[in-house]
Each structure stands twice: as structure tokens, then as C-alpha cells.
Amino acid sequence: MRVTFPHMGNLFITVKGMLQYLGVDVVVPPPSSKRTLTIGAKYGPEFACLPLKLNLGNFIEASEKGADTIVMAGGCGPCRFGYYAQIEHAILKDLGYDMKLIVLEPPQKHLSKLLAKIKELSGNSSWWHIFQSIRFGYQKAQAVDEVEMAAFRSRPRELTPGSTEKAYTKSLEMLDRADSQIALAAAKRNADELMSAVAVDNKKTVVKVGLIGEIYTLLDPFSNQYLERTLGRLGAEVDRSIYLSEWVNDHIFMGMVKGVRTRKEACEAAHPYLRHFVGGHGQESVGSAVNFARAGYDGIIQVFPFTCMPEIVAESILPEMKADYGTPVMTMIMDEHTGEAGTLTRLEAFVDLLTRKKEVKEALCK
Amino acid sequence: MKIGIPRSLLYYYYYPLWRVFFEELGAKVVLSSHSAKGILAAGLKNAVDEVCLPVKMFYGHVLDLAGKADMIFLPRIVSIEKREYICPKFLGLPDMIRCLKNLPPLIEVDINLYKNNRDFYIAIKNIGCIFTKNHLDIWRACLKALQVQKKYFKLMQMGLMPSEALALIEGRVEDKFLPDGEKLNIVLLGHPYNIYDPYISMDIINRLRSMGAVVATAEHVSEKIVRNYAARLPKKLFWTLGNRMVGAAFHYLEQPGISGMVHVAAFGCGPDSMTGGIIERYAHGSGMPFLNLTLDEHTGEAGVMTRLEAFLDMVRWRKAACGT
């Protein structure tokens, strides 16, 4: 059994670490590229959202590398993601790819089904070993998130252009290579050092931009046209509404880990505007926008794939929040078109606007 | 008190229920005007670009009710079947509409049957309490409304379109025709608020009929059959309306005498992109002629007409060829 899974930004570091800890033979799909997208767009349903198409491309490319089993998460709606695995599997079957599918569905009635699937995937490891591997994966996710956050801070302030990017890539490589708890702790220390060694200008004034939206396009740099990197280069410090480790804590550990942001907080903040969950991260998006605005962020950017239903609801409601807090919000919708110039122009204009607004505000305060 | 009901979205399913319920409680029900260019234009102006055509139309209908009604009935329909949803946009609809200005107060009640059916009666009680404190009256109105609703669904299962069933319930027409079997049987699948809204669908039902087709829809199939057929999917769909379309499609694919299948989707509709794909895959698998029509706010009818005509021609040739 050679197992593969879909890409979502740096998710592969966590999942690969977890599966290899269990001794599973893992095939990481090649990083998402234009080829991945072309394959996905060709075979996926026309109006399916971008992540489905990229998933499909990932699976086909992984199968070329010898993968024969797919691990996917499931869901119970109303977001389309819950039916991805089944649709993708049917398409792969029609195309002649004979791949086994293991879907980890959130338990509706009985936990036993999910547990049996996990046991099957892990090749009958003991539950203690499985627990250890999940913990290991979570620690990796946390370490990756910390590196990302450090990069968010230093990118707009770096003295040598490109130095953050170099340190960032190297740090992630180190974390990816760590195969035991001890190695991970060492890698984490090294990554910390590497990231803090980036020379920065601490006095530089930067605008702060909060990123909200749908989880896949938010976490996957390829699908959002390297939004965070571009914003960093343009001199904006970014923060995201979702980090992988937070998502894991919310949805898999049921919020057991204390001291981190939870979706509950975001949903409470969303209440005056959106009083019911709408699937996906729609309510969290509205709530995070409110939280960013309250925290004094200069601007907010919402990203989501074209036709994403929950985020369209959020998009319809965000103007109301904007009217109350006065924080500019821009919506960027991602699909299989890859023209970068349009995105870049919009981001430049947005950051210019925020910078100017900030200058005016500071001048008035003096 | 005048209660406004938008002639859009789930109006095509549940209007008889709410009309009888409100009238039994002594309120007057006002409907928005029929879908038309002006209504859609108002919707387009106020909704974000990304929402689908039926929701834009819904915005227009709600705005049309401003000034006509004292209150607008806008429940949050979370779920109408156990462990299923309609679509995320239905979940956020009241919040989206609340952003509009100058509207009469909204009656926002959550209708959520995700866990169990009992929650429906709680919702009914909450709505009824706006009109009367007498719980017995509410209960009586509810029973009567449910009776009428049952009749409405029954009429549809006999092959009537919602507008015809409604006319019959309200005593507006004589018993007219029931489809005769001599003609071309075409299955029309799509969300009820798309195919039954004559403006959105460009009157597809009557056009097909005038081209000599007998039109069958998913609403003509009973709930039980739909559920049985939909259970063939590897995983249950969590959209009630999508489930109905898929179940009905599987049912019709096995019926003798069906000549073709037309699937109507709204541009950018999430569930349609998945269920449409499933239906198309199965239709191709069983050799059923299949036409997929995607509709948006463009109003060019010629394109739709041409495609329908071509489709029916093709189906006729195929039938003739099989006959000889």
C-alpha cells in the first residue's frame, strides 16, 4: 500500500510526518503546479471549486509516482468538500486509475467506523502508537505555523530582499526531515534561530493586513498566487484567520488544547452579522474580520475559490461589518486562471491605499 | 396584518403550507410579483456578483415586497430532512437580506430538522406566537396547513407542475389535462426554484410542451422512491434537493419510455456542480440522451431555444431509428 494525500500548503509536512511515524509508505504528490491544475481542470466538473481540481491533479501526479491508495478527509455538508472524495474517486475510476480510497469521515453515529479506517491505514499499529503519531503530527504543524508567523513578521521588514524566503524554505526543509520527537525539537530550535537571524529593520512602519476566507485557498500558496509572499514584499505584515494547528485543535481535538485562538471566539464575534453557521468557514471568516478590525488591522483580504458557497454568504455580509468598523476589505476569488499581473496590480493598489490611509491617520493624530 | 412571501426559492415547495397557516391565524398573505426583468434588476443591484441567479432573484422579490407587506416571512431553512441541508446560501439568507435597507421587519425563525422532526413544531410555535397567544389556534392552523401541503405534494406526484397544482388547490381552474403517453417523454431536472420560475428558466416547461414533449420532473416522484434510488450512491448526499434530483434521475433512467433528460443548473451553483456531474455520469452510462443547461442572468433566449430544439430533434431521430 503506497499512500498519497492531497496537497494544501504545508499540510504535507504534518501528514507525511504522521504517516511515516506509523511506518506507512507515503508518496507525497509533486508540489501543485500549472500541470496539476491543467490536469484537474480538464477532468474535474466545470463548476466544481478549485480545491477539487487541484486534488484531482495531485492524485493523478501521485499515481504517476507509484501511489495506489488515497487518504482523504470527508465531511457532512453543507460545503461541497464532504463529497469531494467520492466524486474524485469516480473520475479517477473513469480515467482508468485503479486507486483505493480511504475516506476519514467525521463520525455521525458510531465512532467505530472511523476508528476501523484509521486502524486499517496504520497497518494495525497499537492505539498508543497511533496516538503518538497524531501528537507528533500536531507538534510538526505547530512548528510549521511558528515558522510561517515568523516569516510574516520579517518579510516586510527584511533588509536584504529575499533573505526571509531563503530562511523560510530552509526551516521548512529541516522540519520536514525530522523523523522523531527528538529530531523535531532540534529542528525547531534550528528553525527558530534561522528565522530570527534574518536581518530586519524594526523601526520600519508597515501596514497590517488580515487574511480571511476559505481554508484551502488561505493555506495553499499556489492556489492563492502566493498572496502572503507578495503582500510581504509590498511591505505589508500579514496574519491569517486560520492556521493548520488551530484547525486541528478545533476539529480533531475538539478544542482540547488551551491558550490558542478557537473557532468559538470567531463565531461569537460574527454573531451581530451572521447568526448561524453556513458550512465551511463562512461564519469564522466574518468573525475573524471583526476580530482583525478590533485589533486595529489596516485592511482585510478575503480569499476563496470561485463558487465557494459559504464564503459568498460571508462576502455578502462583510460590507455591513466594514460599515461599522471602517476597515477596508478586499475580496479575491481564485480559479484556474493563473494570470499573476491582475492579482499583483490589485494587491499593489490595495496596499498603497492602506499605506496612505495610515499616513493620513497618523498625521491627524500628531 | 399583511405577511409578505417572496415568490422565489422554496416558495415552489412550501407556499401552500405557509399561506394556509398564516390565513388560519388571521393574517393576510401577500406575494411578490411574478419574476420579471425589473425584479431581477433590483436583485442584481443589491446582491454581490458571486451569488447564484435564484438568490439574486430572491433579493429582487424581497425588495418588491417593501411597501406591500407589514412583515416579510423569511425563515432560515437550515434543514428539512434529517442529517441533510439545503445549501449554505439558505443558511445565511436572513443575514444576507438584513443588510438591505428600508425593508419591513423580517420574521426570522430557524427551521432546522437536522436532528429531529420535533424542531419543526417548535418553529411553528415561534411563528404562531407573533399572531396569537392561543397555542390551540396555532396547532389547529398547523394541522390544516399540513393537510393542504400534503395534497399539494400528492398533486405534483400525479404529474402536475407546481403552478397547476396550486391553481387546483385554490380552485382557480377546471381539471384539465393529464399528460398523455403518446408523446416524447422528457425528464427535466433542476432545483425547483430554477425550473418552475418561468422567468429564470425561460419558461422551459411550456416550451418543451409546445415542442411536443411531456415533461416529468423530480417532484413527480414520491419521496420513498427518491430515497430508495438515491441510496445507490456510495455516500449519501447531504443536500435535500440534490438528493431528490439524483434519486429521481436514477428512477427515470430505469423507466421505459423516457426519451431524454434535461438538467438545468444555475451558473456557479455549488450543489449542481456535484449532483449534475453524478447525474451526467450515470446518464451516459445508461445511454440516455442528456442535455445540461446552465442559466445565469443573461436573457438571450435564442441560445436556450436552439439547444432545446436541437436536443429534441436528436431525441426524435434516435427514437425513429430505434423504432425501425
Residues A114-152 have pLDDT tens digits of 888 888 888 878 889 989 998 999 999 999 999 999 999
Q: How confident is the model at residue B181 (pLDDT cuts 50, 70, 90)?
A: very low
| pLDDT at residue B130, rounded to an integer | 87
Taking an 8 Å cut-off on Cβ atoms, the answer to whether A279 and B235 are in contact is no
List of residues 6+ apart from A189 with CB closer than 8 A: none
HEC string of chain A equals: CEEECCCCCCHHHHHHHHHHHCCCEECCCCCCCHHHHHHHHHHCCCCCCHHHHHHHHHHHHHHHCCCCEEEEECCCCCCHHHHHHHHHHHHHHHCCCCCEEEEECCCCCCCHHHHHHHHHHCCCCCHHHHHHHHHHHHHHHHHHHHHHHHHHHHHHHECCCCHHHHHHHHHHHHHHHCCCHHHHHHHHHHHHHHHHCCCECCCCCCEEEEEEECHHHHHCCCCCCCHHHHHHHCCEEEEECCCHHHHHHHHCCCCCCCCCCCHHHHHHHHCCCCCCCCCCCHHHHHHHHHHHHHCCCCEEEEEEECCCHHHHHHHHHHHHHHHHHCCCEEEEEECCCCCHHHHHHHHHHHHHHHHHHHHHHHHHHC
- B137 and B6 in a single domain? The answer is yes
Q: Distances from the Cα of B255 to the Cαs of A284, B189, B222, B283, in angstroms?
A: 46, 15, 14, 13
pLDDT at B324 over 70: no
A-B Cβ pairs (cutoff 8 Å, strict): 120
Over chain B, what is the mean pLDDT? 89
> Between these two residues, B297 and B263, which has the higher pLDDT value?
B263
| pLDDT at residue B174, rounded to an integer | 62
Residues 158-217 of B with CB under 8 A from A: none
Q: What is the mean pLDDT of residues B159-173?
A: 84
Q: What is the mean pLDDT of residues B78-94?
A: 88
Of A77, A278, A316, the CB nearest to B48: A316
Taking an 8 Å cut-off on Cβ atoms, the answer to whether A277 and B50 are in contact is no
Question: Which CATH code is given to the segment(s) A2-125?
Answer: 3.40.50
| pLDDT at residue A76, rounded to an integer | 83
Phi, psi of B148 (to 5 degrees): -65, -40
**Helix H or strand E encompassing B96:** helix B88-98
Residue B114 forms part of a structural domain: yes
User: For chain B, what is the domain count?
Assistant: 2
What's the distance, CA B204 to chain centroid?
14
Q: Kindly report the pTM of this predicted structure.
A: 0.90
Q: Are B291 and B262 in contact (CB under 8 A)?
A: yes
* ipTM computed for the complex: 0.87
pLDDT digits (tens, 9 = 90+) for B8-54: 999 999 999 999 999 999 999 999 999 999 999 999 999 998 899 99
| Terminal-to-terminal C-alpha distance of chain A | 66
For chain A, what percent of residues have pLDDT higher than 90? Answer: 70
Taking an 8 Å cut-off on Cβ atoms, the answer to whether A49 and B270 are in contact is yes
Taking an 8 Å cut-off on Cβ atoms, the answer to whether A78 and B234 are in contact is no
The span from the CA of A283 to the CA of A261, in Å, is: 15
- B161 and B186 in a single domain? The answer is no
pLDDT digits (tens, 9 = 90+) for B60-69: 999 999 989 9
- B192 and B319 in a single domain? The answer is yes
- B148 and B245 in a single domain? The answer is no
| Nearest CA-CA distance, residue B316 and chain A, Å | 28
List of residues 6+ apart from B19 with CB closer than 8 A: B5, B29, B145
| Terminal-to-terminal C-alpha distance of chain B | 64
- B157 and B198 in a single domain? The answer is no
DSSP B129: T
Phi, psi of B294 (to 5 degrees): -105, 125
Position A291, amino acid: N
What's the distance, CA A172 to chain centroid?
15
Phi, psi of A20 (to 5 degrees): -70, -30
Per-domain residue ranges of chain A: 2-125, 138-203, 206-366
Q: Distances from the Cα of B289 to the Cαs of A95, A286, B137, B284, B306, in angstroms?
A: 21, 44, 52, 7, 16
The residue range of the domain holding B159 is 2-165
- B207 and B249 in a single domain? The answer is yes
The span from the CA of B147 to the CA of B155, in Å, is: 13
- B137 and B196 in a single domain? The answer is no
List of residues 6+ apart from A290 with CB closer than 8 A: A269, A270, A273, A321, A325
pLDDT digits (tens, 9 = 90+) for A31-84: 999 999 999 999 998 888 899 999 999 999 999 999 999 999 888 878 889 889
- B104 and B227 in a single domain? The answer is no
| pLDDT at residue B232, rounded to an integer | 92
- B11 and B146 in a single domain? The answer is yes
Cell of B163: 403552478
| Nearest CA-CA distance, residue A49 and chain B, Å | 8
- B158 and B193 in a single domain? The answer is no
- B8 and B154 in a single domain? The answer is yes
Of A45, A108, A310, the CB nearest to B88: A310
| pLDDT at residue B19, rounded to an integer | 92
CATH topology identical between A2-125 and A206-366: yes
| pLDDT at residue A111, rounded to an integer | 77
Q: What is the mean pLDDT of residues A238-252?
A: 89
**Helix H or strand E encompassing B323:** helix B301-323
Q: Are B23 and B11 in contact (CB under 8 A)?
A: no
For chain B, what percent of residues have pLDDT higher than 70? Answer: 96
Residues of B in contact with A80 (CB under 8 A): 270-271, 273-274
pLDDT digits (tens, 9 = 90+) for A192-220: 999 999 999 999 989 999 999 999 999 99
Supply the angle between the helices B223-230 and B240-254 in degrees, to the nearest 10: 90
Quick check: B89 contacting A, CB < 8 Å? yes
pLDDT at A172 over 90: yes
CA nearest neighbour of A129 among A230, A19, A231: A19
The span from the CA of A272 to the CA of A268, in Å, is: 8
DSSP B80: S
Q: Are A23 and A7 in contact (CB under 8 A)?
A: no
| pLDDT at residue B172, rounded to an integer | 77
- B115 and B202 in a single domain? The answer is no
Of B83, B88, B276, the CB nearest to A279: B88
pLDDT at A110 over 80: no
Phi, psi of A299 (to 5 degrees): -160, 165
pLDDT digits (tens, 9 = 90+) for B92-148: 999 999 888 889 999 888 888 888 888 888 888 889 888 888 889 999 999 999 999
CATH number at residue B207: 3.40.50.11900
CA nearest neighbour of B185 among B160, B217, B155: B217
List of residues 6+ apart from B75 with CB closer than 8 A: B94, B107, B108, B109, B110, B111, B123, B127
- Asked: is A206-366 a CATH 1.10.240.10 domain? The reply is no
Residue B256 forms part of a structural domain: yes
Cell of A27: 508518496
Phi, psi of A3 (to 5 degrees): -95, 140
Q: What is the mean pLDDT of residues A89-96?
A: 92
